[in-house]
Each structure stands twice: as C-alpha cells, then as structure tokens.
Amino acid sequence: MGYRNQPMATVKAAVDKTTLFSEKTRQDIDNWVAKYPDEWKQSAVMAALRIVQDDNGGWLTPELMDKVAAYLDMAPIAVYEVASFYSMYEHKPVGKHKICMCTNVSCMLNGSDKIVQHLEERLDIKLGETTNDGRFTLKEVECLGACVGAPMMQIGEKYYENLTPELIDSILDSLE
Ligand code: FES
C-alpha cells in the first residue's frame, strides 16, 4: 500500500490525547463522540468546538482548534472550516455576556432595528463590539429559529423574545 492510500492516523505521529484537554473536557467531548459510529466521530466536531470554546471563556484560538482536530483525527483545515462558518464560534475574546441579536427578516419586520439602537445606546457600543468593562459583547446574528417571538435575542443558552426597550433594560439589569 502506498503512502497516499494509508489512513491519515497511520501516517501521522501518534498523539497522546490525554495531553490535549482536561479530563472533564475529554469526557464531555467523548459523550458526543459516543453518539456516532466509530468511523464518524468527526461528527462531534461542532459539539467539541462548543465545549472547548466554553472552557476558554467563550472563544477559540488556532491552538484549540488544532487540538480539536488532533482529538477527533481530523485535518485542521476541516475544523477551521466549521469554526469559521458558524456564527456561534468566536475567534477573539468576548464579554461575560454575549448578546446575540437577531436582525433577520422576521425580527427586522418586528422592530429589531429599534432594539439594536437601544442596546447600542444602553451599552455604549456598536454591533460587533465589547464593553470596556468586558461584561457585554453585542453581536448581530442570523435567524435563530424563534421567529414567532420576534424580535428576539440570545444570551448564553437563553432566548429572550418579544423584546421591547423596557424588557431589554430589565434583562440587562438582571444579569450580573
Ligand atoms: S428572524 Fe429572528 S429568530 Fe427568525
């Protein structure tokens, strides 16, 4: 068998995967890997990136993406492609609370522009920016699948729907 026909795992130097992540992180990733057939463990890449990102304060570095690639026996470029395609992955530090504001069609038709304006004024930042105190990042995102509650936003794992400026104030006041 020629070099080109060998599975990647046999031509790459073996990696001690226990050195890549903490035991807890490996367990979390392994729980997702277990959901797929052995030969399709790369299907866990999105979950693995999310887990690693959460462990790193909400953003990914090239080194972390390389580790995910090594852990799942993937080419690094394949991991970069996933991490750069989906908006839920961050490539620079974010605030403690990442506000993902939907401005897609349903939300736009229901006044997301006014909500964005209120958020920008209240936080004194623009879309894509983080407050100086590191508490909030304001991010514009595409449809989050909650159009019935438009306009809406996501903070952490929670959706906030039927937003008004008053509701925004109470939500932000409730966050640490
Ligand atoms: S358009 Fe905003 S959630 Fe669908």
Closest atom of ligand 1 to CA, residue 144: 3
pLDDT of residue 12: 56
pLDDT of residue 115: 98
Hunting for tokens 């004024």 — which residue is that? Answer: 121
Classify each residue of 87-96 as buried b or exposed e, where b means 16 or more C-beta atoms within 10 Å of its C-beta.
Answer: eebbeeebbb
How many helices (H) and strands (E) the chain has is answered by 8, 4
pLDDT band at 58 (very low <50, low <70, confident <90, very high): very high
CA of 88 to the centre of ligand 1 (A): 15
CA of 156 to the centre of ligand 1 (A): 17
Closest atom of ligand 1 to CA, residue 104: 1
Q: What is the mean pLDDT of the chain?
A: 93
Closest atom of ligand 1 to CA, residue 105: 1
The total number of residues written for the chain in this structure: 176
pLDDT of residue 13: 64
Helix (H) or strand (E) holding 155: strand 153-155
Q: 3-state secondary structure string, 9-27?
A: HHHCCCCCHHHCCCHHHHH
Q: Kindly report, residue by residue over 123-147, the tens digit of the pLDDT.
A: 999 999 999 999 999 999 999 999 9
Side chain identity, residue 70: A
Q: pTM for this one?
A: 0.82
Q: Kindly report, residue by residue over 2-13, the tens digit of the pLDDT.
A: 334 444 444 456
CA of 120 to the centre of ligand 1 (A): 19
Side chain identity, residue 171: I
Helix (H) or strand (E) holding 29: helix 23-33
* Ligand 1 pocket: which of 87, 100, 101, 104 to mutate (most atoms within 8 A of CB): 104
